[in-house]
Amino acid sequence: MTFDPFGDFETQGYLRNLAKEKDPDIVRRLEHSSFMTGIDAALERLANVKHLSYADLLETHKTLFEAVYPWAGQDRSTTAPDLAISKGPVLFAHPDDIQRAAHYALAHGQDREFMREKPGVIMGYLAYAHPFLDGNGRTIMVLHGVMAQRAGFSIDWATTGKADYLAALTKELDDPDKGYLDAYLKPYIRKAVPADRLAAEIAQVPGIDGTDEQNEILGNTSDPALKARYEQQELKRKRV
């Protein structure tokens, strides 16, 4: 089933893309081209930001995907405030909780000691926040890469396995801060790459072309069963 949170796929194409293209494969190629074109500008901007904020997360998404989507840089609390979004077994944060999850990741990800010790926890909270209707993985990879570099290390993503990484991430999302993703990433931690190589390193992340982003709409956030799931998930997570 087509992911159509706006309800206008037939007239506006997939996620209201500027080309009004309906073929998901073509849209993915447009996204990847936009990402590769915008990543240097996104990293250059972040390099000039002393303390990364939620606004910087939004601006990074806009820089990476504004050539494809008119809503680039707007999170789900604006674009889909009443929809429960999932991917496979994972129910992402309620729109009202997106910022809280992202704030936790950004605050602790800029604590050098915490980031070095628990890079998987930071990635897990960013992934759980899932701020956008599309482009989440690439956006958070950029932010995570910058925070890791500032903490004095990089992750050798090119040597990771996509299936194994996604399995560890799924466990992290389901049962956060138990070390699942930290344990997976530990063998791939290396000395921080120079700033001028960071874009190339991120470009080697398995699945960075966006083929893994296949979101689903589970229903309305007001549904009692979904409200119970949201509450259960939030009880597992630290609040800030």
Q: Is the pLDDT of residue 240 over 60?
A: no
Are 112 and 72 in contact, with CB atoms under 8 Å apart?
no
Q: How far apart are CA 144 and CA 226, in angstroms?
A: 29
H or E segment to which residue 153 belongs: strand 153-155
Provide the β-strand partners of residue 86.
91, 216
Q: Residue 206: what pLDDT?
A: 82
Q: How far apart are CA 106 and CA 136, in angstroms?
A: 15
Give 120 or 158, the one with higher predicted confidence.
120
Tokens of 45: 């901007």
Task: Set out the domains of the chain in order of their start, with CATH numbers.
Answer: 9-235 (1.10.3290.10)
Backbone angles phi, psi at 184, to 5 degrees: -65, -40
pLDDT in tens, 42-64: 999 999 999 999 999 999 999 99
Compute CA distances 135 → 52, 69, 175, 203, whole Å: 19, 10, 24, 14
Q: How far apart are CA 140 and CA 197, in angstroms?
A: 17
Provide the β-strand partners of residue 154.
190
Q: How far apart are CA 81 and CA 63, in angstroms?
A: 22
Provide the β-strand partners of residue 83.
220
pLDDT in tens, 174-226: 999 999 999 999 999 999 999 999 999 998 888 787 766 678 999 999 999 99
Say whether 216 sits in a helix, a strand or coil. strand
Q: What percent of the chain has pLDDT over 90?
A: 87
Say whether 199 sits in a helix, a strand or coil. helix
The verdict on pTM exceeding 0.75 is: yes
Encode 37-71: b = buried (16+ Cβ within 10 Å), e = exposed: ebbeebbeebeeeeebebebbbbbbbbbbebbbeb
Are 208 and 137 in contact, with CB atoms under 8 Å apart?
yes
pLDDT in tens, 73-108: 999 999 999 999 999 889 999 999 999 999 999 999
Q: How many alpha carbons fall within 13 Å on the CB side of residue 126? A: 29
**In sequence order, what are the residues at sequence separation of 6 or more whose Cβ sits closer than 8 angstroms to the Cβ of residue 155?**
119, 145, 148, 185, 188, 189, 190
Q: Residue 238: what pLDDT?
A: 65
